[in-house]
Structure 1
Amino acid sequence: MTTPARHGSETPRLPAFERVRHWQLTRSLESVPVSEVVVERGVRVAMSDGTVLLTDHWVPTTPSPGAPVLLTRTPYGRDGFGAEALTFAERGHHVVVQSCRGHFGSEGTFNPFFDETSDGLDCVAWIEEQPWFTGRIHTYGGSYVGMTQWALTPRLPDSVEAMVIGISARSFLRSIIHHRGGFGLETAVAWHVVLGSMEDSAVRQVRTQLAARGAVARGGDAIPPTRAVERATGTDTPFFQDWLAHDPDDPWWAPTDFELSPSVVPPLVLVAGFYDLFGHAQVEDFVALRAAGRPVRLVAGPWTHVSPEISRVAIAESLRQLAGVEAAHAEPAVRIRPIGGSSWLSFDAWPPPGHLLTLHPHEDGSLRPDPPARAARVGYHYDPAQPTPMGGGRSLNVWTAGRRDQKVREERDDVLVWTSGPLTRDTLVAGEVEVTVEMASTNPTVDLFARLCEVDRRGRSWNLADGYLRATHDGTERGRLGPVRRHVVTLGAMAAQVRRGHRLRLQVSSGAHPLHLRNPGTDDPVRDFSKLVGSDQQVGLGPASTHVVIPIAEVPGS
């Protein structure tokens, strides 16, 4: 591969928003700037197929001897990474920021995930040819930029020494799009709104984001769902149609799955949000990599996908690794700030040590440690024409994500609710909640959505964690109540400090619209929306029936 001619260098002038972000990112850092910085913008880097990707090279005028090069590959614009790039370059690191195909002047067509392995390897090879290359590369970034890092791992170059990956996961398929048998409609639509506006002016981007609430809602309501992106943005994309058309077990998805080679993953730090759409899968990645013996640390907090604190934490963690990988990984493997907590807690593993609390729902709406003495059933009707709303949680949509009042959801007839007694002490719930549901349905393919909430002293209910499952009920004839089946719904990794006097609440329903694509009640609930067929669910209560298992963690030093 030849090294393209360089553009001239210039002193970086960050846009106003990036200047504010730079101040926010650096004000609490322990390290200090050691160098002035210049930037070479729009360097043309040729991929192996001839496609040219535009790349910015941030150059410390006084580089730290032997310091790793910092690499980021992004579809979101190189200027939007200016605050981070300047922060690293000021501390003596060469920083390479490359635009993915089809965006911000880079040639080619953006086909999410499919080109990132080959393009990432080509970018690394280009860096290795440069006279300023020190023999070491660290990668950094979150969301899709995290996926461009995972894409390197199937054929990881020896020069890639460490990674910091925020709010992302090794498998987009498993974590988001075809999660547990359903389809992540709201995430797909909200991402298209972002992609469609990110090269607009700052003013137009603000207008788009203000309008995004209505746009994403319109897309989520689209019937059939193949029209969702067009209704939200006015245009469609081939890859959205591909996501709908290909089942999760289709080999078509193989190039997008980076879970296959944990043994070659370099030392890394995962920065996760308990309200982030990738949060559950990211913690699963941490557990799997630890089990494979990889040096990996987890830092997690009460964040949605766009919480500003994520970047501040990720910057600090990256600088620790840049200063010394071995020393950075000598720290405790897990550091969390729980939902409702103000302090950081450190643990040697996930889940933290503690015990399991099992609570059983009763006919009177209570949630108690003792199971009901006799078997009973409670039921509800699910109507896909009036789908059960999501009411917060792990979403990309800034207007709906995160911790939300559950009043509207819990007043609906299609949401079952059980509430515990007041807690007698402050309690750290940390780990993965499991809800076992015994259910009969009139739908052979039924959706289950379970949510754990915290009810405060004023009676307001707030979501803590939730889980979804699309289950097959063999032997059920559509429209007739079938046999009882037993399902386990995992609510994903969470940590919450629940105060004394507050109560826990369990919700069970058959939808969280539009986070999970509504179930139309047809034989193909992802693609066949020719009709909307309601269903009746009967949930079993009893001595060995529906229950929730809640991990209670031991607080360090308590």
Structure 2
Amino acid sequence: MGTPRFDLAGRAIGLLVQRLLKLPPATTRDVTVERDLRIPTHDGQTLLANHWAPAGEAASGVPTVVVRTPYGRTGPLDWLYGRALAERGLHVLTVSCRGTFGSDGDFRAMRHEREDGLSTLRWLAAQPWANDVVLTGSSYLGYTQWAIAADAPVQVKAMVPHVTSARLALAFLRPGRFEMETLLGWSVSTATQERRGNLWRALLGIGRKRVQDAMSTLPLVDADTAALGHAWPFYQECLHHDQNDPYWKNEDHSPTVGDVTVPVSSIAGWYDIFLADQLRDFQVLRAAGRDAHLTVGPWWHAHTGGMAAVLGDTVGWAAAHARGTEPPRKPPVRLFVMGVDEWRDFDEWPPTGSTPQRWHLAPGGALRAGTNPSSPPTSFLYDPAHPTPSLGGPKLEARGAGPVDNRELEARHDVLVFTSDVLDADVEVIGEVTAEVWLRADRPSCDLFVRLCDVDERGKSLNICDDLVKVAPDGITKVTVDLSPTAHVFRRGHRIRVQVSAGAFPRFARNLGDGGPPHKATELRTTAIDVFHDADHPSAVLLPRFLSRPAG
């Protein structure tokens, strides 16, 4: 075992993390740590790991939490996983992924996580201090859980994936559409994270402008070089291979989600970049009859509320499974309903009891229940030289994420806005949100971005959910957009608003309009777009109107 950590700084950090995240009280502040343990892999490489534990007799017979990460084993990870969980009576093994922070090999995102994860568990089974295992972690750390979940050995008793999915980055690789901000930002972050002083550079925003400028690079294939000075393998792989490409077959673990028999507690956020995929993973588990639970809070990817939830479930629900004791009661589905700011429990996702209600786009920027007998289309121009900006919503980093005031965006000439009358009763929307928009464009390719907003009595317009699809128009074309799911109450006195535009940059790379491969395009072309809203072309947003409140 390691040396007890009696340092005052460590104890102070433990208290700070507890208060910030509102964690359960620590059972001890005396913990031990062994650093740079060597774990052999199936192919002769070595992974480095740290082992945290409560000091003395408190470490005997308690579960082991495994966290596998490409982001290092010191700093915030020490506080959030190693120290925080050890102070709550658990062994913790934090393992650096292949090619990161001293582990052998080259880091190829998503490439080695299954075999390296199974190698880690085989090594762990031979350690005298190891007992039954819990898998936990956020984002990429959650993906490392899914990579081994279907083949997990019997000592794995529970897993708590947070803001993640079984196919991770493939969610951003729909054909013809490229999520620039996330993919380039993460590529630059992982490429530079081991440079001296990088954490402070990131916190101070040093280098952010260079990355932002690089997102405007044409062709897109050169953006990583503009940001880093050289090409980066993961970015190039994402540009050249969409989610349907067999290239990703071994990295896509979504086909095996139904085979996972380990109890799973999924923690998600309404503004998280992986929300839709995480909900699908949960639905697959439930359809297979597995012990699966879902919590969705009002969080974005880097929100501390979600981190508090995953650590709380690890210490309570998951650790109880590993100890063989009765875990705390969890409903199958627990959702935070925005607008009224309350938690509600349900039996499934999406909840039963909702009815799709069509809100039609109408002339003059109206949004109403009925269709329009006849009306000319509403038109706008999209100019990729001055692209419609992205604002709020799902983002990889916390800066600017989540619900924000959209009024400045809605004042632009390239954003159409359709707004309902003032509501005379609450409108509860819980479930999948869809838009059907009829459009015509004068270019062979365009994008369609649709966003749902809640407008309060003062006119403040907060984004609720949205998405973007690539369109190859053929005359007047009906386009379906599956907005991100939500649970929200539009309060009486508020108004419902729908935005329609042709981009959200840099969250999504610009569509230049030529219809060719987006990573090769260089010529900027303005696109004229007509949005139809008559009886023959009834553009609308379909809201899952919830008609009754369950007990929760």
Cα contact 1:197–1:208 (8 A) shared by 2: no
1:477 is matched with none
Q: Cα 1:310–1:549, aligned 2, differ >3 Å: closer, same or farther? A: same
2:298 aligns with one of 285, 295, 302? 302
| Farther-moved stretch of structure 1 (47-56 vs 367-376) | 367-376
Pair 152,405 (structure 1): closer, same or farther in 2 beyond 3 Å: same
1:42 aligns with 2:36: yes
The correspondence of residues 6-405 of structure 1 with structure 2, limited to 5 A, is: 9-11=3-5, 18-19=13-14, 21-24=16-19, 27-29=22-24, 32-33=26-27, 36-60=30-54, 61-63=56-58, 66-79=61-74, 80-83=76-79, 84-134=81-131, 136-176=132-172, 178-179=173-174, 181-200=176-195, 205-206=200-201, 209-211=204-206, 213-265=208-260, 266-319=262-315, 320-324=317-321, 327-328=326-327, 330-352=329-351, 353-405=353-405
Cα offset, 1:101, TM superposition: 1.6
User: Mean alpha-carbon deviation: is it higher for 122-131 or for 62-71?
Assistant: 62-71
Q: Does 1:539 align with 2:531?
A: yes
CA deviation after TM superposition for structure 1 residue 224, in Å: 1.5
Q: Is the 8 A contact 1:25 1:315 kept in 2?
A: no
Amino acid in structure 2 at the alignment position of 1:515: R
Match of 1:446 in 2: 446
How far apart are residue 449 of structure 1 and its match?
0.9
CA contact (8 A) 1:44 1:53 kept: yes
How far residue 424 of structure 1 moved from its aligned partner, in angstroms, is 2.1
Q: Using the alignment, how far apart are the partners of 1:163 and 1:300 within structure 2?
A: 16
Partner SS, residue 179 of structure 1 = coil
- Residue 523, structure 1, aligned to residue 520, structure 2: no
Match of 1:551 among 515, 525, 544: 544
CA contact (8 A) 1:26 1:87 kept: no
Give me the whole-angstrom Cα distance separating, in 2, the residues matched to 1:168 and 1:12: 35
Give the gaps of 5 or more residues in structure 2: none
Contact 1:68 1:94 in 2 (8 A): yes
| Pair 1:536–1:197, CA change in 2 (3 A) | same
Stretch moving more, 59-68 or 371-380: 59-68
Contact 1:25 1:311 in 2 (8 A): no
Matches within 5 A, 1:429-440: 429-440=429-440
User: 1:64·1:91 contact (CA, 8 Å) conserved in 2?
Assistant: no
Q: Find 1:491's aligned residue among 459, 483, 505.
A: 483
Instruction: Summarize the Cα distance change of 1:186–1:362 in structure 2 as closer, same or farther, 3 Å threshold.
Output: same
| Aligned residue identity for 1:527 | H
Q: Tell me by how many angstroms 1:426 deviates.
A: 3.6
Equivalent position amino acid for 2:482 in 1: T
Q: CA deviation at 1:85?
A: 2.0
Comparing 10-19 with 185-194, which one deviates more in the overlay? 10-19
- Quote how far apart the aligned CAs of 1:105 are: 1.4
Q: Would the aligned equivalents of 1:63 and 1:94 in 2 still touch at CA under 8 Å?
A: no
Distance 1:365 1:275 in 2: 26
Matched with 1:479 is none
Structure 1 residue 34 displacement after superposition: 5.5
Q: Is the 8 A contact 1:174 1:180 kept in 2?
A: no
Q: Is the 8 A contact 1:355 1:552 kept in 2?
A: yes
Counterpart CA distance in 2 for 1:219 and 1:385 is: 15
Shift of 1:269: 1.0
How many residue pairs align between the two structures?
A: 541
* Alpha carbons 1:441, 1:535 under 8 Å: kept: yes
Q: 1:208: Cα distance to partner?
A: 5.5
Q: CA deviation at 1:201?
A: 5.5
> Which stretch has the larger CA shift, 45-54 or 82-91?
82-91
Unaligned stretches of 5+ in structure 1? 1-5, 474-481
Pick closer, same or farther for the CA change 1:25–1:133 going to 2, 3 Å.
farther
Taking the aligned partners of 1:205 and 1:18, their CA distance within structure 2 comes to 18
- After TM superposition, the structure 1 stretch with the greater mean CA deviation from structure 2, 272-281 or 81-90, is 81-90
Q: Check the 8 A contact 2:14/2:84 in 1, yes or no.
A: no
Q: Secondary structure at the match of 1:361?
A: strand
Instruction: Check the 8 A contact 1:181/1:471 in 2, yes or no.
Output: no
Shift of 1:249: 2.4
The 3 A distance-change label for structure 1 pair 318 and 208 is closer
Q: 1:534-558: CA deviations, max 9, x gaps? A: 2222222123521111122333359
Contact 1:522 1:528 survives alignment (8 Å): no
Partner Cα separation in structure 1 for residue 304 and residue 310 of structure 2: 10
Residue 377 of structure 1 deviates from its aligned partner by 1.7
Q: How does 1:501-520 map onto structure 2 within 5 Å?
A: 501-520=493-512
Deviation at 1:141, TM superposition (A): 0.2
Q: 1:428 to 1:460 in 2, by over 3 A?
A: same
- 1:293, distance to aligned residue in structure 2 (A): 1.8
Residue deviations 1:389-436, cap 9 Å, x none? 111111114333221221232122221110011222344322111001
The letter of the residue matching 2:541 is V
Alpha-carbon RMSD:
2.5
Using a 3 Å threshold, how does the CA distance of structure 1 residues 290 and 329 change in structure 2: closer, same or farther? farther
The DSSP-based 3-state class of the residue aligned with 2:48 is strand
- Comparing 136-145 and 536-545, the one that deviates more: 536-545
Alignment deviations for residues 94-129 of structure 1 (CA, whole Å, 9 cap, x no partner): 211101122221121110000111110100110011
